[in-house]
Amino acid sequence: MNLRATPEKKFLLKYLLIGLGCLGFAIYSFYDGIFAYPAKIPRSEAWAELKAQDLPAEELSKRWKVVAKENGWSSKQLTKDESIEAIKNLIIYQYIFMVIGLGIGLPCLIWYLRTRNTWIESTEDGLRSSDGRELKLNQIQEFDKKRWEKKGIGVLHYNDVDGTPQKFVIDDLKYDRKTTDEIVRWVESRIPARMIVNGDPELVATTDPDEDDFENGRDLTDAEQRQVPD
């Protein structure tokens, strides 16, 4: 039985959008921290110098308009949020935002690029993946389904040709769910039930209305719902 499960498109798209969004945020923060906010400091310094002279309000306003005109600045008087200290704090925040954006965005994009062309598939007598990992059904020691119901992750424990313990992960959130679940059912039908631990074997939906619980109206369990075709 040959089935190939490729990455779930919606799952990939989520990581791509998160990655691009966070990188865009990091670039925007970089621009503000390196160029936009530092460019405001001379104006704030000039205003602070005038304020330090303790001039009457009318004289302060008059002189500020002259200074602003000479430098091509807005003649509007500055607020506390435009002080030198406030701007320097904003610059620090931009660096922090940049690090956060890169810290989230880069891993998401790297994961997307590394995952988009991957796959897992069944062969005539085993499984293999795009990273070169391959196993035969008779090498399987255990199928751990501890995280299957909640996260769709099953782990096949097997021994390679040298007898070294290895793991083969089946993830129906990362890969196309329908095909991945078919692979799981196929594997479970070819190994002893005692090898399936921390979870029940996947049920195969029947097409007989007299036997199909779904057709008869019984509420399905989470495990059974996974088997109902879209």
- pLDDT at residue 230 is higher than 60: no
Q: For residue 117, count other CB atoms closer than 10 A to its CB.
A: 9
Phi, psi of 191 (to 5 degrees): -120, 155
Domain around 126: 120-225
Q: Which of 133-137, 212-216, 225-229 has the lowest mean pLDDT?
A: 212-216
User: How far is the C-alpha of 128 from the C-alpha of 168, rounded, in Å?
Assistant: 9
Q: Which of these three, 115, 150, 181, is where a domain ends?
A: 115
User: How far is the C-alpha of 230 from the C-alpha of 225, rounded, in Å?
Assistant: 10
pLDDT for res 223:
46
Rounded average pLDDT over 194-202 = 94
CB 179 within 8 Å of CB 5: yes
pLDDT for res 127:
97
**DSSP one-letter code for 216:** T
Amino acid at 150: K
**pLDDT level of residue 227 (50, 70, 90 thresholds):** very low
pTM: 0.73
Residue 90 belongs to a domain: yes
Tally the domains of the chain. 2
Residue 74 belongs to a domain: yes
Amino acid at 223: A
Q: Which of these three, 66, 81, 115, is where a domain ends?
A: 115
Residue 53 belongs to a domain: yes
Q: Are residues 212 and 128 in the same domain?
A: yes
Rounded average pLDDT over 162-183 = 94
Residue 230 belongs to a domain: no
Amino acid at 64: W
Rounded average pLDDT over 188-212 = 77
Q: Which of these three, 92, 115, 138, is where a domain ends?
A: 115
Q: Cβ contacts of residue 10 below 8 Å, gap of 6+?
A: none
Q: For residue 131, count other CB atoms closer than 10 A to its CB.
A: 10
- pLDDT at residue 172 is higher than 60: yes
Instruction: Return the percent helix, strand and coil in the chain, to nearest 5.
Output: 55, 15, 30
The mean pLDDT value of the chain amounts to: 89
Each residue's pLDDT tens digit, 64-114: 999 999 999 999 999 999 999 999 999 999 999 999 999 999 999 999 999
